[in-house]
Chains A and B, each alone.
Chain A
Amino acid sequence: MIETFGIKLICSKNSCLSPVVCLVVSVSCRLCLVVSCRLCLSPVCLLSSVCLLLSVCLLSSVCLLSSVSVPSTGEVVFCSASTVLKYTQDDLSQRGVFGVLLCTNFRVSFVSDEAPTEEMGQLFKNKLYGENDIPLSCVDNIYGGSEDKRKLITGGLVKNKYPSKMIIHCKDLRVFQFSLSFSKEEDAKKIFQGIVHHCLEPKSLRCLFAFSYCENTSYPEAQRKKQTVMFDSVEDWTQDMKRTKGNCRVVSENSNFELSPKLPQYFIVPKNVSDEDLTKYQGKGLPMWCWSHHSGCALFKTASIPLVQEDNVPQTYMEKMLTAVAHNHLYSVKTEDLSDTLPTVQDILLSYNRFKQFFLIDNTTEFWMSDMKWFSSLDNCGWLDIIRQCLQKAVEVVESLEKENTNVLIMEEGGSDLCCVVSSLVQLMLDPYYRTLLGFQSLVQKEWVAGGHAFLDRSNHLHLKDKVESQSPVFLLFLECVWQLQQQHGPAFQFSETYLTVLSDSIHVPVFTTFLFNNDGHRDSLLRAESPHTQRSPLNCPTVWDWSVQFDCKAQDLFTNPLYTEKPKQDTSVRKSYRPRHLRQLSLPSSAFKTPPKKGFFKDEADNLKKILGVKRLSRWMLSPSSDSPQTSSSVREFYEAWQTKPLDYHGLLLPCLDGPSIRVWMQRYLRWIHDVQILGGGPVAMLSKVSEILGEVQELQRQLDRHGCTLTSNHKGARPRAKTAAAVIAARSSVRLSSSFPFVTSRNWSFKPAIPTSLLQSLMVTGMAGNLADREDDGGPESLV
């Protein structure tokens, strides 16, 4: 350990990309620079040119970083280039700002030469990265451009070649355009190759920033534990089962992954599943409990066992599992193979890739051109239809639980993609607890994190070639569905649209353990291996729910929905005393053995024990044809209509309307960075700020009443004002100055000029339309033809 002039060089054996020397630069709290040097033996090779650059850049970087807001410790600058021009995104005028472009182990960062402007944008500042920073895992595509051509860069670069212009598309839909033609050739080459290397080439999980971040950040763990139920202990699972009055068995034998590293650490299975059943097919076919309905029936999910025709063993096993789900035949069971009826993860990826292109806008002209065919493009990419299908499937499951009181077992190949989507949606629709902010976070923990959704493979942060196939925005799809529900039933949700948008961005910030691993076992082994103190506790990393890592308290106020209707009688221990308001039946399985009301979509397994066990029958549901889907849709329709005629209860069952116009585009997430569609002085924030203002007044009045020692006697069942909401944050500012991109874009760049379509308006008009109409005179009668 060497220390010179406030520069500290640390050599350690630990993981770092380069085979030569890396420089770790960070700013300590006293703002003196700490430069750590590491030798690293990782087999992943960095281009030597980039490494050489590092030493060259050292001095300039040191000066530089002192002016950058460095959010976190453990950050390594790989390379940098000065006099890079960043185009202001939305015009073709080639205007922009000059500055320094850096690539670190956490982000690509642009530091403007102009003095940073301190203004209201700071309200919703992300502490980890600023508006000119792109976390490496947030980089979606890089294009090299020269003049008007642009080419997708896929890594594997030709030496000494670099484009004059670099366009970066981010996963949070920002678009950056940099011109490298003003920088020194050597610098430009290195920064380009460095960025491409670190953003696109395969790397090891250890190189993700989370590990250096966590090693260098002390982080209070106790605080989080109290809030979100993490489902990382027997207690959490037991409590959730008790809360929903489930009657199953908590399995804790895998707490050290002795049973299987692929099984969750803790999970719940039907009572009749024996110990030896647990590991029979590596957890495949094992019904995992998700949630219990108040009628006593429950939702289970499982990874399906590939069926080998000649071999009866898996079938026998499945029969046994089904019987277990049927709870000794107290309930009927419906099974649903999601692989047959919902799009595959590849379909989801393809559709999303088409969809996102509508929002990754390089320039205004392109934007207005695409505006003409906007609606048909939406249809053609199919993304909204996938959302609709997922919601519809969830409604079908809800119908079985709520109306028919049957147990439902959903399955798919891995059991952790669409199963997670559908099971979480079902729970959101049925259980108001999950519509609270903490409840929602618990739901994600339960179904996605503990449920073993392969976040790492699905995001392919590591750019591994063999994982390209498995990449898919499944979790984003889930958030999209939640957004649709929230859009339709706003007051039922405690969290806001902004919360969902921020959560969708956080997937690509490689700091949170929530999204870095494929399952419990994976997480555990890596965190243990990476721990600086071997033999002791695993590395302590923040989860995404530690929002204070990203946002200060004020900004976090925007996560709550001011119009949320709290339960009229709020118990302090919501989780324990939860009892659904729409409770109409006893918790006893009253519907046991009842014949199913109609031929539904699900294969009905249950009213007869013999039938369940019949191999023939079983293999039939295994093949589960989807021929009767029109019928389903009409059944779902009826179910929705029946629900719709009942008075709305925000703490009861919620169903989404699935008709064409009801499924919308998540404007805040997708349009926030596009200048031409920002509504200045309008958008949802205009409403939000007014509501906040009224709420503030109501609170003030309430306080005055309290001060007079008087409590309001009337039990007004409407909005009970929450303590501190977004009110305080926004009310102070006149909403006239805010835009529909609130809170993501600041008003600094506003030209108060409206965006006027640049395309030839005429050209969009109606080619195939009855042309003679267009040529006619305004006034129909010939008498008016002057």
Chain B
Amino acid sequence: MESCFIYSVQDMAKDVTYICPYIGALRGTLTVTNYRLFFKCMDREPAFVLDLPLGVVSRVEKIGGASSRGDVSYGLVCKDIRNLRFAHKQMEDSLRKSIFEILMKCAFPVSNGLTIFAFEYGQVYPENGWKVYDAQAEYKRQGLPNESWRITKVNDHYELCDTYPSTLVVPVNIPDEELKRVAAFRAKGRIPVLSWIHPESQATVIRCSQPMVGVNGKRSKDDEKYLQTIMDANAQSHKLFIFDARPSVNAAANKMKGGGYESEDAYQNAELVFLDIHNIHVMRESLRKLKEVVYPNIEESHWFSNLESTHWLEHIKLILAGALRIADKVESGKTSVVVHCSDGWDRTAQLTSLAMVMLDGHYRTIRGFQVLLEKEWLSFGHRFQLRIGHGDKNHTDADRSPVFLQFIDCVWQMTRQFPAAFEFNEYFLITILDHLYSCLFGTFMCNSEQQRVKEELPKKTVSLWAYINSQPEEFTNPLYVNYSNHVLFPVVSMRHLELWVGYYIRWNPRMRPQEPVHQRYKELLAKRAELQKRVEELQREVTNRSASSSSERAGSPTRSITPVQTFV
């Protein structure tokens, strides 16, 4: 797809050995450009090709010195659950060194003062993906502003909160001045704002960061009044649920650093619930263990115990369970909910966006999901640059964490449980994750809306949605049924959670299905389309004929034709 672009070939080496964990050693040509690493082995039929965007590389390391046979090798640790290993002959040491250096340079442009490839990629797509999300339009779809909620411009220049979007929805009765006072009491100024409103009950999903309670149990009248107003905006319930995503121990520990959680004394009518989701470090460690278990080979005998020991699915379960409780309170309890963690950009984003997927069928469409990501993740400042570490060689950075990956995994779990409720397919989710790392598109660059505006990403880079929306058929679930307003309550028992083999174990050829099932559904749909076409053609023909024959022999009974059914 990027054939017309500036790939500068940085280096090319013949007679490189790729040590494939499944096939074994393969000899071929290795090419490194400023975007990708490309390895081709012609000895096999069909030719073996490895094509890897350099953005995926987390670290490059030399492995050992010279081995007994005089080979030297280096390995690439990748963000997408695989490791690659290449080897050269020792006498080509100069060459090897050059490839290693080129890799270090091109895989980590940020560390080397270079630009990320997304800024050079200039493919033109029919649609401008940056226009997919328009905050005003999305709030309008939700019926906002209305008598209780207004759209404020207070953060237009990111002065109230530099990690929030410019467009915010807040209660009508709270003037901008008061918002500023609330911001002083919330970590990083991330005040409670509306994310989603129930079309019927007017119950809302509110997100924010932790209150700055501190060890002394500081209170803020403004914040208390603010939450009371949020509760009052929903006439159906006289209660407000505050979901703190953290384990209560961690929430309490935050008091030492000035943070904390709402006390039920200060916030009357509010009930505080801890959702026990662990922090980014625990999640990172869990994924590291998972990679050990699934890559390159799976140990057959203790598969489930090994899987359990990574705790990955337990974390997924907790996140889904939290989102489920939120969705349940909003839908069944008709109660507004406030969701926060510490800063409100990791666990909070997971919870609100998952709850919104459960509550609102729009977010289960291809475009709706794009809007959801743009809104809850990108505009509300999930720190993609830090969490992924685009182009940064510092692979041990403690800020890195698979928070977004977990969210996509949760969505995938839901698509497994509700196979007809999502317009998009598994490939759509995998594509998003692949380009989360690839650095081809500007979508996941930077940490906040403010930074994106400053970097002029919409002007200088292409959005992932431009690419996806240029070929939606690739990403469409052929069995999608539009349930419209149906709320999905996934089952969050381990019995129904499974490891996402299609993503985490996709490099293992044995786990690859020979024919993806959706291929058969597609065939079926093609068959229907073909038949439909033929029936329509015949219909036309018959109509034409009967028209001509009736003119010839007026009054003769013409065969009645069943009208062709049209299918949506």
> Interface on A for B, CB 8 Å cutoff?
367-368, 371-376, 378-380, 384-385, 388, 490-491, 563, 565, 637, 640-641, 644, 647-648, 657-662, 664-665, 667, 671, 676-684, 686-687, 689-691, 694-695, 697-698, 700-702, 704-705, 707-708, 710, 712, 714, 716, 718-719, 735-736, 740, 752-757, 761-762, 764-766, 769-770, 773-781, 785-786
Cβ–Cβ contact A375 & B305, under 8 A = yes
Across the interface, which residues of A come within 8 angstroms of B302, CB to CB?
Answer: 379
B400 to chain A, nearest CB (A): 8
Q: Does B257 contact A (CB under 8 A)?
A: yes
Pick the residue among B281, B346, B400, B542 that contacts A773 (CB under 8 A).
Answer: B281
A550 to B5, CA, bound (A): 67
Closest 4 CB pairs of A and B: A780-B398, A660-B303, A754-B489, A718-B523
Q: Does B420 contact A (CB under 8 A)?
A: yes
A680 to B151, CA, bound (A): 36
A764 to B488, CA, bound (A): 26
Cβ–Cβ contact B304 & A379, under 8 A = yes
Across the interface, which residues of B come within 8 angstroms of A372, CB to CB?
Answer: 314, 494
Pick the residue among B282, B495, B520 that contacts A671 (CB under 8 A).
Answer: B495
Across the interface, which residues of A come within 8 angstroms of B527, CB to CB?
Answer: 698, 716, 718-719
Known: A691-B524, A704-B535. A661 touches B399 (CB 8 A): no
Known: A690-B420, A701-B528. A682 touches B281 (CB 8 A): no
B237 to chain A, nearest CB (A): 16
Cβ–Cβ contact B510 & A698, under 8 A = no
Across the interface, which residues of A come within 8 angstroms of B512, CB to CB?
Answer: 644
Known: A648-B515, A681-B486, A780-B397. A661 touches B505 (CB 8 A): yes
Cβ–Cβ contact A661 & B528, under 8 A = no
Across the interface, which residues of B come within 8 angstroms of A735, CB to CB?
Answer: 420, 481
Pick the residue among A676, A712, A718, A786 that contacts B491 (CB under 8 A).
Answer: A676
Closest to A707 in B: B562
Cβ–Cβ contact B300 & A777, under 8 A = no
Q: Does B427 contact A (CB under 8 A)?
A: no
User: Which of B300, B481, B531, B562 has most chain A Cβ within 10 Å?
Assistant: B531
A681 to B490, CA, bound (A): 10
Known: A373-B308, A379-B305. A701 touches B531 (CB 8 A): yes
Closest to A753 in B: B332
Looking at B83-91, B114-122, B317-325, the stretch in contact with chain A turns out to be B317-325
- Among residues 243 to 281 in chain B, which have CB atoms less than 8 Å away from a CB atom of chain A? 247-250, 253-254, 257-259, 275-276, 278-281
Cβ–Cβ contact A697 & B528, under 8 A = yes
Cβ–Cβ contact A766 & B483, under 8 A = no
* B316-348 Cβ-contact flags toward A at 8 Å (1 or 0): 011001001101100010000000011100100
Interface residues on B, range: 35 or more
- Among residues 464 to 505 in chain B, which have CB atoms less than 8 Å away from a CB atom of chain A? 479, 481, 483, 486, 488-496, 498-499, 501, 505
Taking A374-B308, A718-B524 as known contacts, 14 extra A-B pairs with beta carbons closer than 8 A to each other, sorted by chain A number, are A368-B493, A659-B510, A694-B524, A698-B528, A701-B534, A702-B531, A705-B531, A718-B520, A773-B279, A773-B282, A773-B285, A774-B250, A777-B342, A781-B399
Q: A interface, by DSSP: helix, strand, loop or mixed? A: helix
Pick the residue among B279, B307, B328, B528 that contacts A754 (CB under 8 A).
Answer: B328
Q: Does B565 contact A (CB under 8 A)?
A: yes
Closest to B321 in A: A757
User: Which of B248, B313, B496 has most chain A Cβ within 10 Å?
Assistant: B496
A663 to chain B, nearest CB (A): 8
Cβ–Cβ contact B535 & A678, under 8 A = no
Cβ–Cβ contact A659 & B511, under 8 A = yes
Across the interface, which residues of B come within 8 angstroms of A660, CB to CB?
Answer: 298-300, 303-304, 307
Cβ–Cβ contact B328 & A756, under 8 A = yes
Cβ–Cβ contact B496 & A774, under 8 A = no
Q: Does B418 contact A (CB under 8 A)?
A: yes
A490 to B342, CA, bound (A): 46
Cβ–Cβ contact B494 & A661, under 8 A = no
Closest to A773 in B: B281
Cβ–Cβ contact A780 & B325, under 8 A = no
Please, could you name 17 A-B residue pairs with CB atoms under 8 Å apart, sorted by A? A644-B510, A676-B491, A682-B488, A683-B417, A687-B479, A700-B565, A701-B528, A704-B535, A714-B530, A716-B523, A716-B530, A735-B420, A762-B248, A765-B314, A769-B285, A774-B282, A779-B280
Cβ–Cβ contact A775 & B250, under 8 A = yes
Cβ–Cβ contact A786 & B494, under 8 A = no
A57 to chain B, nearest CB (A): 42
Across the interface, which residues of B come within 8 angstroms of A375, CB to CB?
Answer: 304-305, 307-308, 313, 494
A712 to B538, CA, bound (A): 12
Pick the residue among A380, A690, A708, A740 that contacts B479 (CB under 8 A).
Answer: A690
Q: Does B564 contact A (CB under 8 A)?
A: yes
Known: A677-B496, A719-B523. A641 touches B324 (CB 8 A): no
A701 to B566, CA, bound (A): 10
Pick the residue among B298, B314, B492, B515 that contacts A764 (CB under 8 A).
Answer: B314
Q: Does B48 contact A (CB under 8 A)?
A: no
A679 to B487, CA, bound (A): 12
Pick the residue among B483, B511, B564 that contacts A736 (CB under 8 A).
Answer: B483
Cβ–Cβ contact A657 & B419, under 8 A = no
Cβ–Cβ contact A661 & B501, under 8 A = yes
Cβ–Cβ contact B311 & A769, under 8 A = yes
Across the interface, which residues of A come within 8 angstroms of B420, CB to CB?
Answer: 686-687, 689-690, 735
Across the interface, which residues of B come within 8 angstroms of A565, CB to CB?
Answer: 520
A770 to B282, CA, bound (A): 8
B476 to chain A, nearest CB (A): 13
Cβ–Cβ contact A785 & B280, under 8 A = no
B181 to chain A, nearest CB (A): 19
Pick the residue among A690, A761, A766, A786 that contacts B257 (CB under 8 A).
Answer: A786
Known: A660-B304, A757-B321. A679 touches B418 (CB 8 A): yes
Pick the residue among B259, B501, B562 that contacts A704 (CB under 8 A).
Answer: B562
Closest to B567 in A: A697
Known: A761-B276, A778-B341, A780-B281. A677 touches B493 (CB 8 A): yes
Cβ–Cβ contact B258 & A786, under 8 A = yes
Across the interface, which residues of A come within 8 angstroms of B4, CB to CB?
Answer: none
Cβ–Cβ contact B491 & A755, under 8 A = yes
Across the interface, which residues of A come within 8 angstroms of B305, CB to CB?
Answer: 375-376, 379-380
Cβ–Cβ contact B303 & A752, under 8 A = no
Known: A371-B493, A375-B307, A779-B399. A704 touches B564 (CB 8 A): yes
Q: Does B514 contact A (CB under 8 A)?
A: yes
A727 to B533, CA, bound (A): 23
A761 to B281, CA, bound (A): 19
Across the interface, which residues of B come within 8 angstroms of A682, CB to CB?
Answer: 417-419, 421, 488, 490
A172 to B525, CA, bound (A): 37
Cβ–Cβ contact B532 & A701, under 8 A = yes
Across the interface, which residues of B come within 8 angstroms of A756, CB to CB?
Answer: 321, 324-325, 328, 492
Known: A379-B302, A690-B420. A695 touches B489 (CB 8 A): no
Closest to B398 in A: A780
Cβ–Cβ contact A778 & B325, under 8 A = no
A595 to chain B, nearest CB (A): 27
Q: Does B125 contact A (CB under 8 A)?
A: no
Cβ–Cβ contact A705 & B282, under 8 A = no
Q: Does B301 contact A (CB under 8 A)?
A: yes
Across the interface, which residues of B come within 8 angstroms of A637, CB to CB?
Answer: 510
Across the interface, which residues of B come within 8 angstroms of A676, CB to CB?
Answer: 491, 493
User: Which of B341, B521, B525 has most chain A Cβ within 10 Å?
Assistant: B521
Across the interface, which residues of A come within 8 angstroms of B126, CB to CB?
Answer: none
A782 to chain B, nearest CB (A): 9
A374 to B521, CA, bound (A): 33
Cβ–Cβ contact B342 & A687, under 8 A = no
Across the interface, which residues of B come within 8 angstroms of A376, CB to CB?
Answer: 304-305, 308
Pick the residue among A373, A384, A776 that contacts B279 (CB under 8 A).
Answer: A776
Cβ–Cβ contact B493 & A761, under 8 A = no
Across the interface, which residues of A come within 8 angstroms of B317, CB to CB?
Answer: 757
A707 to B258, CA, bound (A): 78
Pick the residue among B318, B343, B520 that contacts A779 (CB under 8 A).
Answer: B343
Cβ–Cβ contact B517 & A774, under 8 A = no
